[in-house]
């Protein structure tokens, strides 16, 4: 009889959780999803009881506050979800000896480095969002349980709010759009990440040792202008597209500090056998699906979120 590993995904409605729900899980896994109605990330005793009732062998934590701009206006909410909840979850998982796969972000870095960031590089987040994510990483490490912190970057896909949907929605009505050409990051198709997370969780269950932090994102860095150029070169087959104008991002009073380079060095992930994530190859079917929602019912309504959100 095949033994199935029990994996619990924290989160239901975020784009990564929804991509995990759509993913083809290995036949050695049995997955459950827990949203805010099933699990309380702010009360330690209740959380331990709930985790015990789910009885997972590994936890994938996708929950978090992901709106970078709103985090500047609501720092308490960002730190509550990204740091305090991570602390309660990591502590409970450590007490129950359940390995935890915790998702984090490239925004824990300052962006001042000229090369891609490696796992051991100094973290100096400029934004409230990045600070809250770094606090979450620290909380997971302090819990001293079995864990892996996986940093990724700039998700896009069919579900939820993401830059691809925003670009396409704005492009339908605009003759001209401007995008910064001075900041770089690694776009990550969320479906590709979701395909690999179950395998990483199973490896943790089976006792494979990882470094405490791992970078895994799209295989090449690009600016918002470069990303928009790729997107609209495909979108012109399905809808009107705007003229694109590159610009330098000016500093705005009250706006979150902008990092110039948030690209991630994923060589450690490749050395572990994880495949490269080709974000450009992932774009064509997604652009087609999002531009033709009637013929692609899985595509969500276009998001109304700032293009700069990662």
Question: What pLDDT sits at residue 3?
Answer: 72
**Token pair listed for 231:** 């997107």
Please state, in angstroms and rounded to a whole number, the distance separating the CA atoms of residues 117 and 264: 5
Question: What pLDDT sits at residue 29?
Answer: 86
Among candidate residues 129, 216, 225, 238, the one labeled active-site is 129
| Contact (CB, 8 A) for 302 and 162 | no
Distances (CA, A) of 84 to 38, 61, 192, 298: 18, 13, 28, 33
From first to last of its 310 residues, the chain has per-residue pLDDT tens of 567 899 999 999 999 999 999 999 988 789 999 999 999 999 999 999 999 999 999 999 999 999 999 999 999 999 999 999 999 999 999 999 999 999 999 999 999 999 999 999 999 999 999 999 999 999 999 999 999 999 999 999 999 889 999 999 999 999 999 999 988 999 999 999 999 999 999 999 999 999 999 999 999 999 999 999 999 999 999 999 999 999 876 555 555 555 689 999 999 999 999 999 999 999 999 999 999 865 554 445 433 333 333 3
Indicate the fold that domain 5-157+188-220+260-278 takes in CATH: Rossmann fold (3.40.50)
Question: What pLDDT sits at residue 255?
Answer: 52
Question: What pLDDT sits at residue 183?
Answer: 87
- 129 catalytic per annotation: yes
| Contact (CB, 8 A) for 271 and 263 | no
Question: What pLDDT sits at residue 30?
Answer: 92
């Amino acid at each position: 009889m095949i033994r199935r590993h029990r994996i619990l995904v924290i989160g239901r409605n975020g784009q990564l959780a929804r991509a995990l729900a759509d993913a083809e899980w290995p036949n050695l896994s049995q997955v459950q999803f827990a949203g805010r109605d099933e699990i309380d990330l702010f009360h330690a005793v209740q959380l331990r009881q709930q985790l015990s009732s789910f009885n997972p062998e590994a936890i994938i934590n996708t929950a978090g506050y992901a709106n970078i701009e709103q985090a500047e206006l609501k720092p308490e909410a960002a730190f509550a979800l990204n740091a305090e909840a991570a602390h309660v979850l990591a502590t409970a998982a450590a007490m129950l000896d359940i390995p935890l796969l915790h998702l984090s972000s490239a925004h824990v870095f300052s962006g001042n480095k000229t090369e891609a960031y490696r796992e051991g590089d100094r973290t100096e987040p400029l934004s409230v969002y990045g600070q809250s994510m770094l606090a979450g990483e620290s909380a997971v490490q302090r819990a001293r349980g079995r864990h892996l912190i996986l940093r990724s970057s700039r998700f896009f896909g069919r579900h939820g709010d993401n830059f691809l949907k925003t670009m396409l929605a704005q492009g339908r009505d605009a003759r001209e759009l401007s995008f910064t050409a001075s900041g770089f990051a690694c776009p990550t198709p969320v479906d590709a990440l979701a395909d690999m997370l179950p395998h990483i969780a199973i490896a943790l269950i089976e006792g494979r040792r990882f470094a405490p932090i791992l970078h895994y994102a799209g295989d090449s860095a690009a600016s918002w202008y470069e990303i928009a150029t790729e997107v609209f070169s495909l979108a012109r087959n399905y809808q009107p597209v705007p003229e694109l104008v590159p610009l330098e991002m000016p500093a705005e009073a009250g706006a979150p500090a902008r990092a110039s380079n948030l690209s991630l060095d994923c060589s450690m992930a490749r050395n572990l056998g994880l495949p490269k994530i080709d974000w450009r190859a992932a774009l064509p079917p997604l652009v087609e699906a999002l531009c033709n929602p009637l013929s692609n019912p899985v595509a969500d309504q276009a998001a109304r979120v700032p293009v700069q959100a990662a």
